[in-house]
Structure 1
Amino acid sequence: MLIYHHVAADTPRVSSVTAAELRQHLQYLRDNKFDVIGLDVLVNQLKQGKPVADNAVVITFDDSFENNFTTAHPILMEFGYPYTIFISPGSIDNRVGPVLSWDQVRTMAADGVLVANHAMNHEHMTQREPGETEAEWLARMEQNILNAERRIKQETGQSHQWLAYPYGEFNNQLEALVKRLGFIGIGQQSGAIGHSTLLTRIPRYPAAGQYADLANLAQKLRTLAFDITDYLSANQQIGTNPPTLRLSVNITDFLRDQLRCYAGPEILEPKWLNDNTFEVTASKPLNRGRSRYNCTAPSLSKKGYFYWYSQPWLNQ
């Protein structure tokens, strides 16, 4: 799954692609016979336990930016590719920044675009207000999610119950709430999607900024999801710093000694606790904010493909 934000030449490069770059990406998908499917198709496959094809690609946009309508939408319609926009209804209602109007959202929806939930006002959902208890915070987040979903349905008639976490920030408690509400949770950590992907933290590859380069994107499109049998220590919101990632994985299609993990430029040597369980820990505490460990291993059965898992960390 790919994530875009701005499609413009005059917006922050870190979250932008130009119209020419977006067109180049889509042409690459077409030329190399990737199957661009809707997020609804992917979610149904995951819910039903059906395999996700290696060449399947889902296209998504976050943050309700107006250039998604004025620039990206005509290009995607030209290619005939389905896609999803994750919007924050409060930002649209209050005209916060260069955001879509509801008329534009309704036009996109009428053209077949899937419209989904990005929280009411694009807030940092894991942050509690001063003096707020965990129960109070969870109740506030529940209303936030449900009110945003209700507002989207009022304006578009759509209610998919998919939540893309703003800034890609979540924790175990928020994941549990999303699951209890019957929603699908979607992050911003990179990674491929497979049958063991948690439906409260589906990954997406960024396709903007430094990742807009086609060579970089082409590599990401040829990745596989690790078959994770147990997420033993993978809460995004860290306690101990540096955090330890501990996973149990099926290793039948890669060699244990070829598994590599990274914390930025630092190579993390996996410590195998048994035949299928490993852990990695960075040598230094993580900086405040968001960071990641990335783990990869070459596939034995699919030449040129790598398994890829990204663990997001949130140090508040």
Structure 2
Amino acid sequence: MNRFIILMYHMISKPESELEIKYACPPDVFENHMSKLRHENFNLVSLKTIDNHINSGAAIPKNAIAITLDDGFEDNYTNAYPILKKYNIPATVFLTTGHLGASNNWMTKRGFPLRNLLNWDQIKEMSKNDIIFGAHTVNHPALPELDIERAYQEIKESKKTIEQELGRECNYFAYPFGLFSDQNRMQVRDCGFSLACSTRSGFNTAARDPFLLHRIEVYGNDPWWKLKQKMTFGINDASYSFPIKYYASRLMHRFFHEDTKP
């Protein structure tokens, strides 16, 4: 059973504060990632390919990687989009629909710099060129903190808005902050989505719950070696010492397991 990886980015810009370092990937770093992914032994696929694999049993290539970007920052159009087109890489952008054409004020309240979000003209252009748009709620709330009805409206209305604006189905969802309850998961399913992405790290296979897909978070300051290590081990945090600790742990486990056999 082939496993696949979903990568998660946010802003494709230089960070403007310490808070943004984790979430803002400079364009030259992003381009280096995309170039390496395209020219090394990886197959860049869309969430539609993953959807068909999980829900319809279609084949998926080995070493499949899907690119996602959360929130819908304007730099996804100005900086990421030309790079994705250059390397012919499909991607999915999860939109916070109530803030499109405006700003990320759910973040500025926590001290983040003000950033513009995409507008519908930019989204419609990208939609014609291999970029899929998924829903990320209307206002980017922590869904488990809302009452059931309000959470349902956040999920449902974001899907409805995207479908009305683009004239096509919106099938994919990402949980804001990666937070969800069992009730939220069922609401996403009941609203008609076919896949939902979490922020839990790790690999995916066709056996994965389609409403709990795992993603690997790409930090803004990740050089290629860190991203490659994350993809190798299915982790969010990479370091020079991680492989040593990982293989030492496996060796010790194997040693003690063999030693305790009758």
Q: Is the 8 A contact 2:173 2:197 kept in 1?
A: yes
1:171 aligns with 2:189: no
TM-score, length of structure 2 as denominator length:
0.78
Aligned position for 2:112: none
Instruction: Specify the code of the residue in structure 1 equivalent to 2:158.
Output: A
CA distance in 1, matches of 2:170, 2:52: 11
Residues 264-283 of structure 1 mapped to structure 2, 5 A cutoff: none
CA distance in 1, matches of 2:59, 2:198: 21
Q: Is the 8 A contact 2:177 2:199 kept in 1?
A: yes
Q: Per the alignment, do residues 199 and 255 of structure 1 end up closer, same or farther by CA in structure 2, a change over 3 Å counting?
A: farther
Consecutive unaligned residues of structure 1, counting only runs of 5 or more, are: 129-136, 226-253, 259-316
Q: Is the 8 A contact 1:82 1:112 kept in 2?
A: yes
Aligned position for 2:83: 75
Aligned with 1:47 (options 55, 73, 76): 55
Q: Is the 8 A contact 1:89 1:121 kept in 2?
A: yes
CA distance in 2, matches of 1:217, 1:95: 29
Residues 110-125 of structure 1 mapped to structure 2, 5 A cutoff: 110-125=128-143
Aligned with 1:138 (options 145, 148, 171): 148
SS at match of 2:22: helix
SS at match of 2:163: helix
Q: Is the 8 A contact 2:163 2:170 kept in 1?
A: no
CA distance in 1, matches of 2:229, 2:100: 35
1:188 aligns with 2:183: no
* Number of aligned residues: 221
CA distance in 1, matches of 2:14, 2:234: 32
Instruction: Specify the code of the residue in structure 1 equivalent to 2:207.
Output: S
Q: Deviations over 1:92-150 (max 9, x none)?
A: 1554441111111111112221011000111111103xxxxxxxx22222222111111
Instruction: Specify the code of the residue in structure 2 equivalent to 1:10.
Output: P
Q: Which has the higher helix share?
A: 2
SS at match of 1:85: strand
Q: Per the alignment, do residues 193 and 51 of structure 1 end up closer, same or farther by CA in structure 2, a change over 3 Å counting?
A: farther
Aligned with 1:217 (options 219, 227, 232): 227
Q: CA RMSD, aligned part only? A: 2.3
Q: Is the 8 A contact 1:191 1:204 kept in 2?
A: yes
SS at match of 1:198: coil
Q: Per the alignment, do residues 187 and 256 of structure 1 end up closer, same or farther by CA in structure 2, a change over 3 Å counting?
A: farther
Aligned position for 2:238: none
Q: Is the 8 A contact 1:188 1:205 kept in 2?
A: yes
Instruction: Specify the code of the residue in structure 2 equivalent to 1:3.
Output: M
Consecutive unaligned residues of structure 2, counting only runs of 5 or more, are: 1-5, 105-114, 236-249, 255-262
Aligned with 1:99 (options 117, 131, 150): 117
Aligned position for 1:56: 64
CA distance in 1, matches of 2:55, 2:79: 33
Instruction: Specify the code of the residue in structure 2 equivalent to 1:214.
Output: W
What displacement does 1:62 show? 0.5
Moved beyond 6 Å, runs of 4+:
none
Q: Which has the higher strand share?
A: 1
Q: Is the 8 A contact 1:3 1:59 kept in 2?
A: yes
